[in-house]
Amino acid sequence: MDDEALDGSPDAASLGVWRLVGLGMLLVGNTVAGLVLGWLADRHWNTSPVFVLSGIAIGMVTAFISAWLQIKPFLSR
């Protein structure tokens, strides 16, 4: 069967896959955003890896906090 059931609602299995894809994109996106912002700050202030490393760390922390907030409602079921 395709992605939609007979009543027009998305299939539960495909919905779960898309939530996982979105969660992965969230993790990667926050980390890359921290990397890019850190790289831009390093270029502006001419500091070598200081802001890149800080940006990656902050991006990863915000990514995991965001992921936890999205996963938390499913854990309480």
pTM to 2 decimal places = 0.78
Maximum Cα interatomic distance, the chain, rounded to a whole number of Å: 59
Query: Is there a domain that residue 50 lies in?
Result: yes
For residue 47, is it within any domain?
yes
Q: What is the mean pLDDT of residues 70-75?
A: 86
Question: Would 44 be classed as within a structural domain?
Answer: yes
Q: What three-state secondary structure class fits 13?
A: helix
Distance (Å, whole) CA 28 – CA 67: 11
d(CA 57, CA 4): 39
The pLDDT of residue 75 is: 83
In a domain? residue 53: yes
Is 46 a member of any domain? yes
64 domain-assigned: yes
Based on the structure, what is the number of domains in the chain? 1
- Tell me the C-alpha distance between 15 and 19, whole Å: 6
Which tops the pLDDT comparison, 13 or 37? 37
Give alpha helix (H) positions in the chain. Answer: 12-45, 50-75
Domain boundaries, position 53: 32-77
- Residue 11 reports pLDDT greater than 70: no
- The answer to whether residue 66 is domain-embedded is yes
